[in-house]
Amino acid sequence: MLKYLIPLALFVVLVFFLAIGLTRDPHELQSALINKPAPTFHLAQLKAPDKTFSNEDMRGKVWLLNVWASWCIACRDEHPYLLEYAKTGAVPIYGLNYKDRQEDALGWLGELGDPYLVSGVDLDGRVGIDYGVYGAPETYVIDKSGMIRLKHVGPLMPDVWSKEILPLVQDLNRQGTPK
């Protein structure tokens, strides 16, 4: 009897682990930058190339940095939701226009609407490398002291927004500004 039970038990354990493996998305990687200072950048603004946009301007605020591009198909799925989130005014949303032509990016915002207060232009993807971007869209929640507190890879759908982003933003807003 035991002769059959042991292999069966081993098989069940194996199936259990494989089943867990199936439910996990291999593209969702734990960011190495969580609870680390957001890498510094100084980028030209998409709509006003003579002005710069830097994460250092955002000290003392809780904000979102959304990595997007006009060539990114999933960004198009995400876009109407971003417009809605921006309208609620729950948290300021800034854009990182990733490896995009200026005319394409401006055309995209003109056609679909602009949820971003400002978008910085990362033409060669160098800032993307600093942030560990590997697939747009990506969204970072950055706290008052400039720390990355959450990274979401993929479209920011309403369930993620209401279950993860909003509670975290509210929590971070309640905290004072650390020195």
Partner 1 sequence: MTRLRFLALLLICVLASFVMAQVQEEEVPSDDPVIEQRLTNLSKELRCLQCQNQTLADSPAGLAADLRREIRVQMKAGKSDQEVIAFLTQRYGDFILYKPRVTFTTYLLWFGPFVLLLGGLYVLFVYIKRRRDSFDEKPLTADERRRAEALLASASGKETT
- Which stretches of the chain bind partner 1, using CB under 8 A? 26-27, 29-33, 69-73, 98-101, 104, 123-126, 128-135
* Minimum gap (Å) between residue 170 Cβ and partner 1: 28
Is there a contact between 169 and 140 (Cβ–Cβ < 8 Å)? no
**C-beta closer to partner 1: residue 25 or 159:** 25
**C-beta closer to partner 1: residue 47 or 101:** 101
Give the single-character DSSP code of 140. Answer: E
* Minimum gap (Å) between residue 92 Cβ and partner 1: 25
| Residues ≥6 apart with Cβ < 8 Å to 178 | 144, 145
> In the structure encoding, which two tokens stand for residue 57, read together?
């301007």
**C-beta closer to partner 1: residue 26 or 176:** 26
Cα dihedral sign, 153-159-164-166 = positive
* Minimum gap (Å) between residue 135 Cβ and partner 1: 6
